[in-house]
Amino acid sequence: MNMAPLASPAVLFPGQGSQGTGMGIAWRNDPAWAVVEEAESILQHTLEPILLETAAAPASTTDTQLSVVLCSMMSWKVLAPAFGREKGARPLLAGHSLGLISALHAAGVLTAGDTARVVALRARLTEDACDGSGGMTALLLGVDGAAEACADVPGCWVANDNAPTQTVISGKLTSLRTAAAAAAALGADDIIPLDVAGPFHTPLMHRASAEFLAGLRAIPFNRAQSVVVHNGRTHLPGATGPDTWRELVAADLTTPVRWRDTQHALARLGADAVVEAGYGRTLTGLAKRTLGRVRLHNATSPEVCRSLAALVRAPDRGGPSPSRATGTS
C-alpha cells in the first residue's frame, strides 16, 4: 500500500455487477458487521447467507444490490471516523449507479437504516422489471463507437461511459447481440455480457423509476455534509435538497452513467487518491484507465480500511484550490 497521507481522497462506491463469492467474509467478525444486523432487523430478512456464500456469487437482482451496498457500508463505517475528526480531511464522494446510494449514506443524506430501505425498494422494483428479455454488455470501445454500434438498433442504448475505452450498452438481449456484432466490426477489443439481469439505464426501466420515486418520498433524505459528484456534476455540502436527491436516485434507473465525466470532475476538485470502498476493484480499474497515475486503494477489509484511515490527515490550510472554491463543475 502507498503510505502517503490522504488529504483529499475521492471515495468511490461500486454498483451492481461488482459482487463476488464470499464477499462479506472479511467482515463477519468485525464490529462493522452491525451494519448487516441492523439491515436484517429493518428489512425482516436474513442477509448473512448472501454475504458469506462461497460456492456462488449473489445471483438475484435483489441479492446483488443488497450485498454490494452492505459491503460498501461496512467499509465506510470503518473509514468514516477518520474523516469526522476536527479539521480532518474531507472526502470527495461518488458512486457508480447503485453506488450513488452508498455515497449518499457516506455524505449523511441517508442514515444506515434508511439506506437499507432505499436499496431494498430499488431492488424489489427493478427485480420486478427484469423479465429476462433485457441485459447489459460491456464493450472495450470508446463511447462514440458504442453509440455508432447502437445507432441503428432499436432497443439498444449506451448505458455507461466508464472510461476512454470501456463503455456499456443496455437493452433487449436480441438488440444487444446485434449491437455487439456491430461493435466487433468497429474494432471493439472485447465484448463481455455482464452479470446483470435487466436493461438498466434505459427507457425500459421507466415504470420502475417512477414507482421508485414515489416510494422514496416516504423515506427521509437530508442535505449532504460532504461533496458528492454525480454524473460529472459537483454537489457542494448543503447545496442540494432532499427532493432533488430523491429525483436523481430514481432517475439513475433510466439515464446513462457518465462515470468518465465524474472521474474527471473529481480530479479537477483536487482528489489526491482514489479509495474504492466496498467489494472488488472495478472502480480503481476504471480510474487507472481514465486518470492515469493516480494513487489507488481498495478498502475491501477491516484491516485495509483501518490502515487507510490512519493515512487521513488534515488538509493544507493555505486555502482551497480554485477548483474547490467555485462550486459546481
Give me the mean pLDDT over the 172-197 stretch: 95
CATH of domain 134-193: 3.30.70.250
Task: Spell out the residues 6+ positions from residue 47 whose beta carbon is closer than 8 angstroms to its own.
Answer: 36, 39, 40, 66, 67, 70
Rg (CA), the chain: 19
Q: For residue 163, with 0-12 CB atoms within 10 Å meaning exposed, 13-18 middle and 19 or more buried, which class applies?
A: buried
Domain ranges for the chain? 9-130+203-325, 134-193
Give me the mean pLDDT over the 145-149 stretch: 98
**Confidence class for position 318, pLDDT limits 50, 70, 90:** very low
Q: How many CB atoms lie within 10 A of CB 151?
A: 11
What rounded mean pLDDT belongs to the chain? 92
Cell numbers that stand for 117 in this block? 430501505
Checking if the pLDDT of 5 tops 80, the result is yes
96, 105, 201, 235: which is the annotated catalytic residue? 201
What are the pLDDT digits (tens) for 231-263? 999 999 999 999 999 999 999 999 999 999 999
Provide the pLDDT for residue 70. 98
Checking if the pLDDT of 321 tops 50, the result is no
97, 102, 175, 226: which is the annotated catalytic residue? 97
Share of the chain above pLDDT 90, in %: 83
What are the pLDDT digits (tens) for 216-228? 999 999 999 999 9
Assign domain 9-130+203-325 to its CATH architecture: 3-Layer(aba) Sandwich (3.40)
Provide the pLDDT for residue 59. 85
Provide the pLDDT for residue 141. 97
**Confidence class for position 17, pLDDT limits 50, 70, 90:** confident
**Confidence class for position 86, pLDDT limits 50, 70, 90:** low
Task: Spell out the residues 6+ positions from residue 326 whose beta carbon is closer than 8 angstroms to its own.
Answer: none
**Confidence class for position 26, pLDDT limits 50, 70, 90:** very high
**Confidence class for position 327, pLDDT limits 50, 70, 90:** very low
Catalytic residue status for 97:
yes
Higher local confidence (pLDDT), 88 or 4: 4
What are the pLDDT digits (tens) for 259-303? 999 999 999 999 999 999 999 999 999 999 999 889 999 999 999
Catalytic residue status for 226:
no
Distance in angstroms (rounded) separating the CA atoms of residues 254 and 209: 7
Share of the chain above pLDDT 70, in %: 93
